[in-house]
Structure 1
Amino acid sequence: MKKIPVGIIGVGGYTGLELLKILLSHPCFELAYLGNSAGGVRADELYPALRGLLDMQVLASDPKEVARRCELVFLALPHKSAMEFAKELLSLGVKVVDLSADYRLDLQNYEANYCPHTDIDNLSHAIYGLPEYQKEDIAKASLVANPGCYPTATLLALLPFVKYIEGSVFVDAKSGVSGAGKNPSEKTHYCKINENMFAYSPLEHRHQIEIEEKVSKFGGKDLQVNFIPHLCPFSRGMLVSVYARVSGEFDPLEVLRGAYRDSVFVRVVGSSSEVKNVAGTNFCDLFAKRRGDDLFISSAIDNLLRGASSQAIVNANLMFSLPLECGIPRIAYVP
């Protein structure tokens, strides 16, 4: 079978490496282009762990050359940079899965939280790439906006319960330090994060509006989401705890099982979700428990995979009518 040629622009970051690792063993996709801002280096020089596995040249990103080689491109770029590439690639007939925030939000919310948008036409038809809720639309899309890691873990936990929730919701989210990106900062310095944990941007993080917007879209109800992210001293993984006041009679585990009965990559577990059980996979592990009118939901994902790269490849699978689990990692890193 002839493989589908795909490329990565922005290959130098953590999500770029995770895309590379999955695509190297993908049975239907073939790496045909690697790009970053400068080029002039081989993949195995950029990532010595790839020695003997991939010596492809990384090029200075050129949309026309990408279009000559690829049918689909993953954009692992910061916001603002991604929309500049996406606009040209789409005009050249290349499908795009964008891992940045540039196409996740409506125009008003995007410009209020990021920057002026320069590709409003494509923003209007971008599909939000949460497969459990958008599978059919993703399959027909030319542009998929891959969700953020915090919104992925939170929405999968929250959406099945929206109709039961009264009042606002509190989300206590904890992420491994890789979620802060590859470029070092004062907050990600070893001496700062080791044996430490702290909240950042509480009640004003940009992912808060992404969660609220998508709860309204997929849950059919406007909720105030109070979102408090924390940076934690582990490399990868994410644990999200959702707290809500609810009404009505329901068994929370049965609600989750009903919502995700046919979902390949959501597992309903019998006790609180654990990061270690999903690290290295595309799984989201969910648990929920109720005490009277109070509801607790626990959600665990790998922030670099389910929260970014493996979810992006699931979306690409759907865009080419492949089984969504094709080539996607499912075995955790546990001993």
Structure 2
Amino acid sequence: MIKTAIVGASGYTGLELIKILLNHPHFEISALFGSEGGERIEDIYPSLKGVFEAEIQKSDVEKIAKYDLVFLAVPHKTAMALVKELYGKTKIVDFSADYRLNQKNYEDFYCPHIDPANLENSSYGLPEIFREYVKKSNLVANPGCYPTATILGLYPFIDYIENGVFVDAKSGVSGAGKKLSATTHFVKDNENFFAYNPIKHRHSVEIKEKTGLDVTFVPQLLPITRGMQVSIYAKLKKDIEPLEALKNIYANEEFIRIADKPVEIKNVAGTHYCDIFAAKNGNMLFINTVIDNLLRGASSQAVANANLMFGYDEGLALPKIAYVP
């Protein structure tokens, strides 16, 4: 069994990791770590009582380095401080943005990077595009939820569209994490719907760096717990059949489903799937994607990457049954 540690176990993505790994035939949850330690995971999430019970230890690099696989479900800056000490001692899947971008883009949108040497050692963990790199990597930068849904939608059309696309991205509230803020308060979100940080959102540079396209990115918050829908608008420079273009790229991808009508969050909530639809009006292209932000946009994608890193089938233990109804 692969001895596995989760750092940042008390967050939503940590919980989703636990749920997936409990059904994994090779990855064994051997330790949970957090910034403080001392709590028990079943006390934080009573749904785990009688299913999985464990103490959350205070993060300690020497202890963490003893495990074969480490998931870092921690914020940016915290992650790179750990990776700087852990790299070369274990295999790492990092949920933060710390290793997703080149140094200039990262420092322009986040903070000074304290571990630039390992930027060259990381692989961007979007398997449908970077699978072969992930297989050889000891450090995978797990993509953000917005970039995952957007890049998977854009990728088949990069050669067919003009530079400059508009991305209208809508996410459930769980994407903001557990910490309460003015924009994630129940009274603010219930029966409400609004854009936040339009155009300047950090994920816009991640999308641009990976696709080479200029992006106008507008994220919006839906009054739902989980799920994400992205609508992309672009101008075609070649006459193509959009659904055929999608099928040409993703025909053999198990976790990409091509739809013949606009896609719905409910059909992917609780799964690793990304559902995609596309249509054109003259030379204008509409691309529509949905994912579960906590799974395909975080935890199940992290497990898919770990599967590849250890030479297992990519889809091993990944959730396939949606939360319907």
| TM over 0.5, shorter chain | yes
Contact 2:194 2:221 in 1 (8 A): yes
State the one-letter code of the partner of 2:294: L
Distance 1:55 1:110 in 2: 37
> Which of 274, 277, 280 lines up with 2:264 in the alignment?
274
Q: Is the 8 A contact 2:239 2:283 kept in 1?
A: no
SS of the equivalent of 2:225 reads coil
Correspondence for 2:223 among 213, 230, 233: 233
Match of 1:153 in 2: 149
User: Residue 123 of structure 1: CA displacement?
Assistant: 1.1
1:89 aligns to 2:86 (yes or no): yes
**Percent of aligned pairs sharing the same letter:** 55
Specify the SS of the correspondent of 2:10.
coil
Q: Which residue of 2 aligns with 1:224?
A: 214
2:298 counterpart of 1:308 = yes
Q: Give the Å deviation of 1:198.
A: 0.4
Partner of 2:158, secondary structure, is helix
In 2: Cα distance, 1:323 partner to 1:166 partner: 36
Question: Over aligned residue pairs, what C-alpha RMSD do you find?
Answer: 0.8
Give the equivalent residue in structure 1 for 2:253. 263
Amino acid at match of 2:260: G
Matches within 5 A, 1:191-230: 191-216=187-212, 223-230=213-220
8 Å contact from structure 2 (residues 13, 294) kept in 1: yes
CA shift, 1:87, in A, is 1.4
- Amino acid in structure 1 at the alignment position of 2:311: S
Q: Match of 2:312?
A: 322
Structure 2: segments with no counterpart, 5+ residues: none
Please give the alpha-carbon distance, in whole angstroms, between the structure 1 residues aligned to 2:226 and 2:220: 13
Report how far residue 224 of structure 1 moved. 1.2
Give unmatched runs, 5+ long, in structure 1: 217-222
Give the CA deviation at 1:67: 2.0
> Which whole-Å deviations, capped at 9, do the CAs of 1:23-56 have from their partners, x for residues lacking one?
1111111001100011112221121110001122
Query: Is the aligned partner of 1:178 residue 2:168?
Result: no
| In 1: Cα distance, 2:31 partner to 2:83 partner | 15
Cα deviation, residue 247, structure 1? 2.0
TM-score (norm 1): 0.96
Aligned residue among 266, 275, 285 for 1:285: 275
TM-score, normalised relative to structure 2: 0.99
Residue 67 (structure 1) aligned to one of 65, 70, 76? 65
1:220 — aligned with what?
none
Partner Cα separation in structure 1 for residue 169 and residue 39 of structure 2: 37
The change in CA–CA distance for 1:122 and 1:167 in structure 2 (over 3 A counts) is: closer
Match of 1:172, SS state, is strand
Q: In the TM superposition, what whole-angstrom CA distance separates every residue of 1:122-145 from its partner, at most 9, and x where no partner exists?
A: 111210000001111101100000
> Is the CA contact (8 Å cut-off) linking 2:10 and 2:41 kept in structure 1?
no
> Which residue does 2:239 correspond to in 1?
249
Amino acid at match of 2:139: L
Helix, strand or coil at the partner of 1:166: coil
Q: Counterparts of 2:72 and 2:263 in 1: how far apart (Å)?
A: 30
Q: CA deviation at 1:167?
A: 3.6
